[in-house]
Every structure is written in structure tokens, then in C-alpha cells.
A and B are shown apart, each in its own frame.
Chain A
């Protein structure tokens, strides 16, 4: 046990003084120095990378590269990424498994794998509710026959699967309201926005996003098979709602591109929504209309579409800035990033990305910077493009593994 010695007091006082001087000197050098860090997946390289951006020097770099996946000579496809509210863990969805994908949990301290839990086919986007503490993830299941999929609920502490909720076809883009009481996602092939009660673990509302339905939402339900109708049908077909029973395909002679069940037919999607995010004030939800080249604003209380804002080609992901002023979306088809002024509903800028196939968006908590993952094509590396929201400029980009995808803001270092 160390015991303070009287003759050391002078040296400690001296040390404090020296530290104080040093701190003063540092503060005069660069008092605004700030490093922003994001985690990003490389879907075709089976990597997750921690990318840093120094706002003082406008330089970015890859800090750490973490290999993920279980099948070394195959592409496992890390897709979605989220970080726990306490910042102690990051979670990544791995699209391909045997054959189901899974969720993997890593420590942010040492980036070591802490646990996995099997999910459904091509699990994608997710978020942890700060209300229930549970993680909500949708199984995108974008390959093969278009069929209803599911949202899975996981206890992120123990990595246990707690519940599985049937949902629409190709669900994507899970995001919470600020309280964590509602989880929103979209069904790409049903053209729907879906609201899940995170506490009751049930779908509470669905909303058709089709243009023709804006003024006649009552009519639409008679003509279009909604997610809730599909869910009801599935429940009727199989009381347990378990994935194996209703995801299983017959080894039938029917071509794969034929619809298997007449009761499960779906209308050709028009909006093809791919992402959703909530406004910090919880009054609005914003959806990327990937098929209709627009951002759709939904009034949460009235559960109706309040605005449609045209964008460039194929908006894919989006995020509302924490200050609620801006909406930043990736334009997958245009290879660009769009910044929209939410008050006026106008696009302020459309900034070309560093390469083709723009993917994910995350914004720093101070609403200053947007970090865009850009996939690239073929052997090209992916990238994280760093855009200053205020000046609407691409400041720099950091090359990552191939097909950069899921991206999540981690922390700010001063």
C-alpha cells in the first residue's frame, strides 16, 4: 500500500503547476480540436472499421479494422450497425449465415466479440430502445421470393432472442423515437411505414406511402394488401408465427419468380421506401422513397403524410440532424448526398460523393458533420465521406473496405 510521504508534497505541487502550464499551452494551440468517430461496415470485405475525423485538420483516417463473420472463404456481409446507448458495445448484423444471418455484439473498448444470436434472412437495420433496453432488428430478406418477413427483438445484454414479430415484405430502416417507445421501419415491397410499440412488442399502426393514397387512406386498405393483413393471414396459417413454418419454401417445380401463394400477392411497389428516421421532437417521421425519388414526411399524431419533398435519384438512407433543422439523405443512384432544410422543405445542396453507390448516413451530435458510407463498385474501396452540413461541402473522405454500408456515430473526442 502506498503511503504519502511529506517530502513528496513539494514535487506533487510542482507537477500540478507544470500540468496547468501544459494545459494552458495546449488550449492556446487548438482549443476547438475535436475528433469524431464512426463505426462503418464493409459488406464485401467482412470488416467493420472505426473511422476518425479531426475537425481541426479536416483529416480522416481508419483507426481500427475488425474482421467479422464466421465463414472465412465466403462473404458473410456485415450490413447494419448500431451502438449501445452507453457506448460500451457495437452491434453488427451479418447478412448471410447457415442460411440465416445473425447479430454480433462487440466491445467498444477492445473490439472483441462478446456474443451472437441467430436472426432471420438478411438481418439489416436495428436500434436499441432507451426505454425497454431491447434491440429491435428487421430481417430484410431481399433475396429470392418476395415474402413477408419479421422484426426480431433481442436482449442486447444476454444476446437472447426474445420475440419475433411478423411484418411486411423487405422491412428496412429501423429507427426509434426519442423516448424509445416506438420503433419505426418501412416495408419496401408493401410501400408501408410500420410503427411498433417497443413495450407491447406489437405493430400498432401501418401507413401506406403511395401517392394515390394520400387523400384517401381509408380506401387504400380495401384495395391493397397491407402488412397487417399479411400478418393476420400468416397467423391464421400458423398459430405460432415461427419463421420456419412460413418462410419454408416447397421444393416445388414452380419457377422461383412465380408467386407461391395467391393470398400473398403484393402490388408492384411504387415508393419502395428504404429508410426511416424520426424528428427529435417526435412529431414527424421521415421516409426515403427510393422508388419515387422523394422524402416523405409523416405527421405522427395524425398518422398521415404531411409533405413530400422531391430528391435526386434513389434516396436510400437518411438522418435528421439532432438539432432538427436538416435532413441528410444518401442518393444511391446519383452517387450524392442531399441536405434538406426541414423548415422550408427545400433541398439546400446535392453534394457528389467520392464514388458511386451512396449508402448510409450518420450525423454528429452537434449537427455539424454528416458521415456518409459509400459502397463503390467491384474492386473499388468503399469510403466514408465527411460533409460539413453548415457549409454543405464534402470536406474529405476516408477509404474503407469494399462496399461500405451500415454506419453509426460512436463518439467525439476532445
Chain B
């Protein structure tokens, strides 16, 4: 390319023509021609007469707008309005505006017709004033030289909980008490001062009397001692008392916990342990730990040694049934009425088949029957407790009437269709559960229908459960002791009383299949909640719901190997009102799907991460994977599978000392836990 200085361009017309080719000139001419049109178009505008737009929550206003031509003449065009934030601001197309949520939102005004113009306008919905601030520690006793995390309950005029970040917190005398950027209160000296909070135009104030700190000793102890050595994953509980010279316990004395780690592995190992400020400690890696409790200027240390969990066991393949041409979905294994053992598996994106297997000899798993229905996916398969009735789901029926198919599996070699039930279920059923003569069928991803199958040839719907949250959705449902636990993506896990029985450890609400009654719920931010499995810890008696994710951030290739994401969330329910997410099991590079928990052992399908067998005994805290709680791992692959030599494990089921699992790519497998490998 010729190097031309800017100045040379102006030397002569001829030179310009030489250095500018025809394309450049064409573009120039084109822009010269179209620029006036652009300018004219840009000058037409919509003028909003209500500017500036500032509303309070629930306030309505009628928008007024006019369309101006390039010359400023008001045109007769109709202007329609719509909201860019429909959940925060509702506007009718005629411009009736209703503010719902505080914040700055956008509405658009648009003319109709081929040369329509559109403009966006900001609407400021004012945050309601904070009218209530309660300092939760106001009644405590305060000691000089200590530090505590401030805790407030903050609500606005609409009774909505507001953030502490919206408060301006100050002290009337910083030599007595002061507040740092982390909203921690430092009690600097003996005396009195006021803690003041300003929230908008509201002001709240509390007198604080700081007493002399007479603490002389800290006593820390283990509250859940064991004769066994502490192992990785064990949650150790510490409690600390602060005492004065006379050995009196000082109430409300704040204590901060921390630790120093001396892990056995010193080769750059990270994340060796964690400690909560209520005194719970768990180590992910073996080593020595100094637990430090501090209150004011005094502290105490307790040293503990954490040993490896050493629970690793081998897994041996007992048998497999390879499905070579279609993808396998869910499975169910049961003892037939003849005493033999059987399994049923579904198929995905295929010919609408469910396969029945004889697994009595797990080293010789073989098909004994195939049920074919008008569908592309038979996603879920379930068998009744008495082993006589199976329910399979349908998606992709050619008639678009999907629903469920009820099978007689009394003789699984000659399975017969008892009925096809589609009433209200035409949109597709993805998952089901059979419980006490009722089928709970996830209906079109929207709700679950409860269907009486006492007479399996004549099923009928007796109840429906559906959330009322905006954009609600459901993926799965599982029943335990008369409580249905549904998995609802963004709405998390929802527990519903559908006829609580006496063996339940949780309280009910007089629900029944015809009157499903909500009990409690738990949501988490990712919106990936896909499955839920309730269980009572046999070792602690605590009640948990294991809530599993499903996510495919890397997409899904139906013709090749895949990767998934997501993990299992452990939510502790102590009653229905105060669920707490206490732990997780997350496999790096893989994602959770279905799982089963029995005798404090979780059997989890992790798609490309295969089958994982996990020790969930004792208290749970932190990442169970990091803590060495994984007992075994198995990656099913087969060269003759639908997707050869690739793992994508769908669901497990422990059964008679074996673990059966279905794998999307390859079919059904039976494996057995082997010897300890430590």
C-alpha cells in the first residue's frame, strides 16, 4: 500500500482521483444522496408530555404523547406504548401506566405503520421510604474492646424487606463506639453513646451503654465429641464461653472463630477447611488445625487432627444391557410378583419404546418385552409398590395427545396396555410418581395432575397442584410419607401435603390427593432445580431435601459426547419455615441429574461424570466432594452403544445390594461396590 501523507491529498484534484478508487467515490456519492433522508427521518420524533416521569409504587398515570414531524408540526399518528420491564412497570398500549417495582425502567412509545418511529423513555419508580428499622442486638450487653456484626430488620412502607446497604449508620461518639465499612460495631471504650441509622428522611437511634470488659478467660469445647478420630467431612461443633475473674459467664460476649491449617499435603493445596461463626468446623483435607476463638483482646486455641476419610471403594460391573440404536432415559427396578427381578427403561427422542428387562441374574441382563406407543420420548417409567402396574410417560405423540400409558406388568414378559390417559395431559408428561394408588404426573411442565388408578383401566384426575408465581414451571415430583416434593426450576423445591402419613417426621397441613396443600419451599438463584430427594439422616435424625440441578451451558449434541453442569444442594428443614442450604456435592466438569439416597449413601448420576456413590452421613456442611466423601465412581461406556465410548449417566437405583443405572448413551448397567481401596 502506498504511503500517503495527509497533506498530499490536497495538492491537486488529479492526485485525489489517482489515490481514490471508484469504490470510495461511489460511497461518497451514496452518502451525499442519502444523508438528507436520514436527517429528515431522525428529526421526526415522539414527544412525551408527561416528562419527567416519576411515580411511586402502585401509582397510575395516563401518558400523553404527540408525534412531531421534522418541521415540528404535530402529526395525527397514533402512538402505542409498551413496557420493557413488564414485571416492574405495566403500561397499556393506550398509555395507562402502573408502577409495580421501584427502580428506573424503560417504556417505549411507537407509531405504527411502515415508517414507524420508536423512542424509549425512562420512568423512575421511587423506592418507598424505609419506615421500620429494628436493631436486633439492641437489648444485648456490650463490652469494651469487642467487635460484633450489626444485624437489622429493615422494612419499607410496603412492608418489603430492604437492604442494610441502604442505611447510613453512625455513632454519636466514636471514642465509645464506631462502625466500619463491613457494618461491624467496634466497642472502643466504656461509656454511653447512640447508634444512629438514617434511612432516607427517617432516623432511628438506640442508646448503647458500653461496660467494662471483665473477661479473663475463654473456654472452648467440642459439643459433639466422638470416640472416633475426626475425619475430613466430619462437622465438628465448637462452643465458647467467656468468663470473668470469678468464672461467671458473660452473656452476649461476641466470639469470632478462625483457624490455622497445617495440611498434610503442603504442595500448594487450597481450601483445606471452613469454619462458621456459630462454631461449626469441617475440614476438606487431612492435617492439623488450630481452632481459634477470640473475644476482644483474649483468645483461646484448640488443636485438632483431621484424618483422611478413607472410604474409597472399588466398583465392579456385574452386568449390562446395551441399547445400541436409541438413547436410554429413566429406569425402575422391581421384584415381580413371581419373585424374579425386572427393570423397565425409557427411550429418548426415538420410536416411543419402553424396554422390559429380566435382571434376576444381573450378569445376564436381557430384554423380555418391548412396549411401543405413539410417542418420540418415553422419558419416565415407574412401577407400583406391588409390582403389578407400570406407568410410562409420552412426549411427541403424533396426535399431540401425550399423557400417560398404564401397563400391566404382572407378567413383564407379556406386558399389556391397560389404559391410555390423556385427559388434561395432552401437552406432554415428562415425569411421574406412583404413590398409594395415585399417579402424580408432571403436566406440560406447568403443574402436576393427581390421577386415581385404583381401577387402572379407568383412571381419573382427582387433583391438580400448580404454583401461582409468574412464569412458574415444574420438572419432577417425588413422594415420601405423603408429602410431594416437586422440583420447579426457578421456584426451587416445593413440599406439598398430599395425605401425610404417620411415619412422616415433618408436620402436615391436612392435605390429600384431592386437596394438595403447600407446606414449604426453598429456592436458589441459579433456577436449575431439576430433581428433589427427601431423606432423614439416619446418623443425625436431621431432615434434608437433596435438590439437584440440571444445566447444559455447553449445549447438547444428540449425536455425540456431551458435558453438563450443576450440583446437588443439601437443604436442611427444621420445620417448614426455615430451610437452610448447608452443603453441596459438586463434581468438577460434570453435572447432576437423578439420584437416590438410602442408608445415608447417595447414589448420584452425574451425566458425563457417571455414577457417584457418596457418603452423606453425619452433619453436612460445605462441599462434600472436596471432603473426600465420594465412595466410588463409575463411568459406563461401551463401543456398541448408541453413542459409543462415551458416558452420560441418567439415573441410579440401589436394589438388593447392587446399583442399577441407566445411561443415556448406552443402556442399563448393574454394578456392585467392592472392597475398600485406601
Using a CB–CB distance below 8 Å, which chain A residues touch chain B?
Answer: 1-4, 43-45, 67, 72-75, 96-100, 118, 121-122, 130-134, 142-145, 155, 158, 160-163, 198-201, 240, 242, 244, 248-249, 251-257, 356-357, 375-379, 402-403
Tell whether, in the assembled complex, residue A377 and residue B490 are in contact, meaning their CB atoms are under 8 Å apart.
no
Which residue of chain A lies nearest to B555 when distances are taken between CB atoms in the complex?
A72
Cα–Cα, bound, A98→B84 (Å): 20
**Which B residues are in CB contact (< 8 Å) with A142?**
400, 426-427
What 0/1 pattern do residues 440 to 459 of B give for CB contact below 8 A with A?
00011111010000000000
Contacts of A240 in B (CB 8 A): 90, 92
Contact A72 B471 (CB under 8 A): no
Interface residues of B, dominant DSSP: loop
**B289 part of interface (Cβ distance < 8 Å):** no
What DSSP secondary structure best describes chain A's contact surface?
loop
Which residues of A are found within 8 Å of B24, using beta-carbon distances? 1
> Which residues of A sit under 8 angstroms from B514, Cβ to Cβ?
253
Determine whether B375 belongs to the interface, using a CB cutoff of 8 Å to chain A. yes
Q: Does B260 contact A (CB under 8 A)?
A: no
Judge if B349 is at the interface, Cβ distance under 8 Å: yes
Q: Do the beta carbons of B464 and A252 come within 8 Å of each other?
A: yes
Q: CA–CA, A403 to B396, complex, Å?
A: 8
Quick one: CB contact mask for B545-583 with A, threshold 8 Å, 1 for yes? 000001010011000000000000000000000000000
B427 near A44: Cβ-Cβ < 8 Å: no
Q: Are B93 and A201 in contact, CB atoms less than 8 angstroms apart?
A: yes
Report chain A residues within 8 Å CB of B20. Answer: 1
Determine whether B428 belongs to the interface, using a CB cutoff of 8 Å to chain A: yes
Is B84 a contact partner of A132 (Cβ separation < 8 A)?
Answer: no
Decide: B550 and A130 in contact? CB cutoff 8 A.
no
Given A145-B424, A160-B108, A378 contacting B351 (CB threshold 8 A): yes
Binds A, one of B109-117, B186-194, B280-288, B536-544: B109-117
Q: Closest 4 CB pairs between A and B?
A: A256-B424, A143-B427, A379-B351, A72-B556
User: What number of B residues sit within 8 Å (CB to CB) of A?
Assistant: 74
B461 within 8 A of A: yes
Contacts between the two chains (Cβ within 8 Å), count: 175
Give every chain A residue within 8 A of B464 (Cβ-Cβ): 249, 251-252, 254, 256
Q: What would be 20 A-B contacts, judged by CB atoms less than 8 Å apart?
A: A1-B24, A3-B2, A4-B21, A44-B349, A67-B555, A96-B444, A98-B472, A131-B114, A133-B114, A142-B427, A155-B110, A162-B82, A163-B80, A163-B93, A201-B93, A248-B468, A251-B466, A255-B424, A256-B424, A378-B376
B95 in the interface (beta carbon within 8 A): no
Which residue of chain A has its CB nearest to the CB of B326?
Answer: A379
Interface residues of B (CB under 8 A from A): 1-2, 4, 18-21, 24, 78, 80, 82, 84, 86, 90, 92-93, 108, 110, 112-114, 116, 118, 326, 348-352, 372, 374-377, 379, 395-396, 398, 400, 423-428, 430, 443-447, 449, 460-466, 468, 470-474, 489-490, 514-516, 550, 552, 555-556
CA distance in complex: A199, B76 (Å): 14
Across the interface, which residues of B come within 8 angstroms of A74, CB to CB? Answer: 379, 395, 430, 445
Q: How far is the CA of A110 from the CA of B86 in the complex (A)?
A: 31
B445–A96 contact, CB under 8 A? Answer: yes
Task: Give me 15 other A-B pairs in contact (C-beta within 8 A), A144-B444, A163-B82, A378-B374 excluded.
Answer: A1-B24, A3-B21, A72-B555, A75-B428, A97-B445, A99-B474, A121-B444, A131-B113, A143-B424, A161-B82, A162-B93, A200-B78, A201-B80, A256-B425, A402-B349
Find chain A residues with CB under 8 A from B78 CB. Answer: 199-200
